[in-house]
Amino acid sequence: MTWLVCNDIFQTQAPTLIVVGCGGTGGFVAEGLCRLMVGRECRITLVDHDVVEEHNLRRQNFYVGDVGKFKSKVLAERLATRFDRPIDYSITPWTVLEDRQEGWHVFSPGQIIIGCVDNPMARRAIGLFVSRPTWGQWWIDAGNGRDYGQVLIGNRGPAALTGTFLLGPDLVYGLPLPTVQQPALLEPAPEAAPVDCAQAVAEGDQSSTINHLMAGLVLEYVRRLVDGTLRWMATYLDTANGTVTSVPITPETVARMTGVKVKRLVVQSTKPRPTICRQCGRVHR
């Protein structure tokens, strides 16, 4: 049995894509989203309060002339010009969300938060934002070390997962938040070991290729979520072993992860099973 994430909302609402973190992975995700959405309606917002530093040029999506400028601003302005579409940005830290009155973070149906952050505080803030009752946006979280990484998708805490699996059409409306799937995301990262190799120092604690791989995976999640063909909830990348492993969405997996019983997760439904269009590979009306 294959469970698909329901894309009903994207059939009536253009997606609102919010990229939180424009560093290694987020910068390439932002550009990839613009390509993915060419000719399609959507709203894109880039969030990052860091400025570009010289050492970022090796593995982030910036150029020499960007040094000293805000990452979100310089990227938003460049992509807006290149792709001829408006792109919003914010230089307010995501973690002070509660105090913020800007328009971009207000709930809109069809909102997808793409977390490309590297710290537990930002993930905690995103989790609180996404899991507010009735808001229903999706959170795709990317995180990586030097030669491994993971992409996770979710939108609810365990208490809100009741009845989110519609048996019959085999459609899914709710999945556990990335931080519920992997509670270690909320723990501080271990201290990096001291490095003495000049290349390692120059690159920081990540290789220059892993961010491209991570961005590709994130974009595949966004594409499938919007198109109605997403059937995984987690993907693990291991560049040391050369493997990509995805976790299929099943109520059993969610039950194991959250302790919520399968019979509480699943409800019978007479809604028709969506068909994937033979021409474009999407689920649409």
Contact residues: Zn ion, CB under 5 A: 277, 279-280
Contact predicate 165/172, CB 8 Å: yes
**How far, rounded to the nearest angstrom, does the alpha carbon of residue 245 sit from its chain's CA centroid?**
17
CB-nearer residue toward Zn ion: 10 or 165: 10
Of 110 and 274, the one with the shorter C-beta distance to Zn ion is: 274
Shortest distance, position 277 Cβ to Zn ion, whole Å: 3
- Pick 150 or 229: Cβ nearer Zn ion: 229
**Nearest partner of 143 among 161, 166, 119, judged by Cα:** 119
Which is nearer to Zn ion, 10 or 94 (by Cβ)?
A: 10
Q: Within 10 A of 63 (CB to CB), how many other CB atoms are there?
A: 11
Q: Least distance in Å: CB of 280 to Zn ion?
A: 3
- Give the CA distances from residue 233 to residues 85, 101, 127, 128, 248, in Å, rounded to whole numbers and listed in that order: 30, 32, 16, 19, 6
CB of 276 to Zn ion, least distance (A): 9
Cβ distance to Zn ion smaller for residue 267 or 277? 277
Chain position carrying tokens 């001829």: 84
Pick from 176, 193, 195: nearest CA to 185 = 176
Give the nearer residue to Zn ion in terms of CB position, either 184 or 277: 277
17 forms beta bridges with 44, 112
Q: Round to whole Å and give the CA distance between 141 and 79.
A: 22
**Nearest residue to Zn ion, by Cβ distance, number only:** 277
Report the nearest approach of Zn ion to the CB of residue 284 (Å).
6
CB of 219 to Zn ion, least distance (A): 20
**In terms of CB distance, is 268 or 275 closer to Zn ion?**
275
Going by C-alpha positions, the residue among 136, 137, 143, 167 that lies closest to residue 250 is 167
